[in-house]
Amino acid sequence: MTTVEKQLRNAPRNYWYTIIVTVIVLALFYWSTTGVISLKDIDAKGFKIAGNILSGIVHPDTDLLFNITKQSVLYLLVETLAIAFLGTIVGGIISIPLAFLAASNIVPKPIAWLTRLLLIIIRTIPALVYGLMFIRVTGPGAFAGVLTIGLTSVGMLAKLYVDAIEELDTSVLESMTSIGCTTFEKIRYGIIPQLFSGFLSVTIYRFDMNMRDAATLGLVGAGGIGAPLIFAMNSYKWNQVGSILIGLVVLILIIELVSNKLRSRLVKG
Amino acid sequence: MYDKIFPPKKVSLSNGKVVLQKRSRTPLILIILIIAIIISMNFTDFSFSVLFTNIGQFFSIIGQMIPPNWSYLPKLWDALMDTLKMSLLGSLIGAIIALPFAVLASSNIIKSKIIVVIFKVILSLLRTLPTLVSALIATFVFGLGPMAGMVAIFLFTVSYVGKLLYEAIENVNMGAFEAMESIGMTRIQAFRYAIMPQVLPGYLSQSLFCFEGNVRYAAILGYVGAGGVGLLINEDLGWRDYPSVGMIIITLVVTVFIIERISEHFRKKLI
């Protein structure tokens, strides 16, 4: 028997595990096809609409795309950008205290656990629900969008901040105590430099995601480019849909590029 | 540029040497940030007075959600299952389709530059399209119902898993691949035995993670008529039936929590 054959025989045998997992996945697959797949609604009309959408995207309404009024795509994109930006800032500011409250190396376990539960709940509630709730507070408009984006960001930002805080190197703080630093000095020179770049990188990443969310919040009337997009779609004006989508995709791609550049520079230091 | 306007500070060391310390960029970045915040506040009509006078409304809505309307649960069940079904099916098919897309988009496997660029562009375009928008387009083509939601989730999964997978494939160790080619395997065989084992755990783990996120997305897709819980949320918020909304949110939180636990268990096993 050669060494290769010996190694082959020694390989762990977990056929049963593999088979059971495969069976479960196949069963879930079958279960999920029941009731979801329905091709009966597809007819000639559907394909015609699909064709119209494509032709609209290829022939965008250039007038809407480039003029500078309050209804133009450019203005709406800037508004969406402003919502995402301000929302990220609001979310980032709220997340910092929550993250410290959820870090098990800073506060007692029960408090950390409760804060984490709160964060899970905040994270799970869909953004549109917040949007509809905030509209009751501020009235329809971009302000509701900012608050919504802020609150939805908290769920993710705080969770990732917690990871950074729990990796804090406490030996630095101990040595600073031993040379007689005050609490303020310890925070300024011991904690902030360790956390800052991590926090910033996460926040920039979330800004990137918020751009996408802000674009859809208009659906519930929370400002941004979503509302005109829906109106254009519901009235079958595919040229306008095309120009809005092109603007949106270009903006999101630019933001993604910038955010990736900034984050890789932060990582390198 | 910045160094020319604000010349670096000169520090003479004790041994007489002079070193240059670059001026900190922090003040510049701070000023830009503050200007951007002020402009955004003007654009979005941000006002603290509105926020502080009306924030009570927000908490009163939350107050009305508690206690939730437990008798709503049976009605909710079907919609919740629809949401789960469409996110599961969309993620499964999407993850499978993402594999050929990712292979075609990785520059170390495909020699033709044009194909690689085309598939990379397709993947990034799909990724920028917000899920809600693709769901809305899908409702026009496939009719109202979970099928449209499934298509939207499928598209998102393809783009997300596809991107992470082609990045993984481009970063694998090509030595084994070349060795297998040199002993006479076809490129497909070499891919199967040299590259798949390297990227498979990451691929499965990303797909599971994407499924977790998709459950959350699926919950709102009903808002544009693509089936699932979103439709109920929309109706109940419209009727201001907050106890029922509270019930929906509780079931969603529990479902997402369970799915997260299961997927985390398997992802830990994979890595």
At A31, the pLDDT band (50, 70, 90 cuts) reads: confident
Q: What is the pLDDT of residue B165?
A: 92
* Residues B122 and B202 both lie in one domain: yes
Q: What is the pLDDT of residue B217?
A: 82
Place of tokens 């703080």: A173
For A38, nearest residue in chain B (alpha carbons): B147
Confirm or reject contact between B12 and chain A (CB < 8 A).
no
**Helical H segments across chain B, by residue range:** 2-5, 26-44, 48-65, 73-104, 113-128, 131-142, 146-170, 175-182, 187-190, 196-221, 229-238, 242-270
The mean-pLDDT minimum among A25-34, A219-228, B74-83, B96-105 falls in: A219-228
* Residues B90 and B12 both lie in one domain: no
Q: What is the pLDDT of residue A89?
A: 92
* Residues B85 and B51 both lie in one domain: no
Q: What is the pLDDT of residue B100?
A: 92
Give the number of other CB atoms < 10 A from CB of residue B230. Answer: 28
Cis, peptide link before residue B67, omega less than 30° from 0: yes
Contact A46 B140 (CB under 8 A): yes
At A149, the pLDDT band (50, 70, 90 cuts) reads: very high
Which one, of B212, B210, B236, lies nearest residue B222 by Cα?
Answer: B236
Residues of A whose CB is below 8 A from B41: 86
| B183-197 residue pLDDT tens | 988 888 888 888 888
Selected residues 193-212 of chain B with any CB under 8 Å from a CB in chain A: none
| B16-41 residue pLDDT tens | 777 777 777 778 888 998 998 888 88
C-alpha distance from residue B189 to each of A203, B169, B179, B180, B207 (Å): 43, 15, 12, 8, 24
The arrangement of secondary structure in A64-268, i.e. its CATH architecture, is Orthogonal Bundle (1.10)
* Residues B45 and B178 both lie in one domain: no
Confirm or reject contact between B45 and chain A (CB < 8 A).
yes
Residue B96 has pLDDT above 70, yes or no: yes
Proportion of chain B above pLDDT 90, given as a percent: 18
Residue A78 has pLDDT above 70, yes or no: yes
Q: What is the pLDDT of residue A95?
A: 93
Confirm or reject contact between A53 and chain B (CB < 8 A).
yes
Residue A42 has pLDDT above 70, yes or no: no
Contact between A217 and A87 (Cβ < 8 Å) = no
Helix A109-124 vs helix A142-166: crossing angle, to nearest 10 = 140
At A269, the pLDDT band (50, 70, 90 cuts) reads: low
Query: Mean pLDDT in chain A?
Result: 84
Q: What is the pLDDT of residue B131?
A: 84
Residue B158 has pLDDT above 90, yes or no: yes
Residue A17 has pLDDT above 80, yes or no: yes
Shortest Cα–Cα distance, A48 to chain B (Å): 9
* Residues B104 and B151 both lie in one domain: yes
Contact B147 A142 (CB under 8 A): no
Selected residues 10-49 of chain A with any CB under 8 Å from a CB in chain B: 25, 28-29, 31-39, 41-42, 46-47, 49
Q: DSSP state, A186? A: I
Contact B233 A128 (CB under 8 A): yes
Which one, of A149, A242, A125, A222, lies nearest residue B133 by Cα?
Answer: A242
Contact A36 B41 (CB under 8 A): no
Residues of B whose CB is below 8 A from A34: 85
Q: Once rounded to an integer, what is the mean pLDDT over residues A71-85?
A: 86
* Residues B114 and B187 both lie in one domain: yes
Contact between B49 and A87 (Cβ < 8 Å) = no
Greater confidence (A84 vs A37) lies with A84
| A168-219 residue pLDDT tens | 888 888 888 899 888 888 888 888 888 888 898 889 989 988 888 888 888 7
Contact B223 A37 (CB under 8 A): no
Q: Which domain holds residue B111?
A: 71-270
CATH code of the domain covering residue B113? 1.10.3720.10
Greater confidence (B3 vs B235) lies with B235
* Residues B61 and B131 both lie in one domain: no
Q: What is the pLDDT of residue A65?
A: 67
Please tell me the total count of domains within chain B: 2
Domain boundaries, chain A: 3-32, 64-268
Q: How far apart are CA B80 and CA B86, in angstroms?
A: 10
Which one, of B153, B36, B121, B268, lies nearest residue A89 by Cα?
Answer: B36
At B155, the pLDDT band (50, 70, 90 cuts) reads: very high
What is the widest separation between alpha-carbon atoms in chain A? 81
At B207, the pLDDT band (50, 70, 90 cuts) reads: very high
Selected residues 119-148 of chain B with any CB under 8 Å from a CB in chain A: 124-125, 128-133, 136-137, 140-147
Contact B233 A89 (CB under 8 A): no
Partner residue opposite B40 with nearest CB, options A47, A86, A230: A86
Contact B145 A141 (CB under 8 A): no
Confirm or reject contact between B29 and chain A (CB < 8 A).
no
Q: How far apart are CA B190 and CA A255, in angstroms?
A: 38
Query: Mean pLDDT in chain B?
Result: 85
Proportion of chain A above pLDDT 90, given as a percent: 11
Give the number of other CB atoms < 10 A from CB of residue B28. Answer: 13
Q: Which residues, 6+ apart, have CB-to-CB distance to B167 below 8 Å?
A: none
- Residue B89, Ramachandran bin (φ over 0: left; ψ between -120 and 50: alpha; else beta): alpha
Residue B214: both structure tokens together: 């998709």
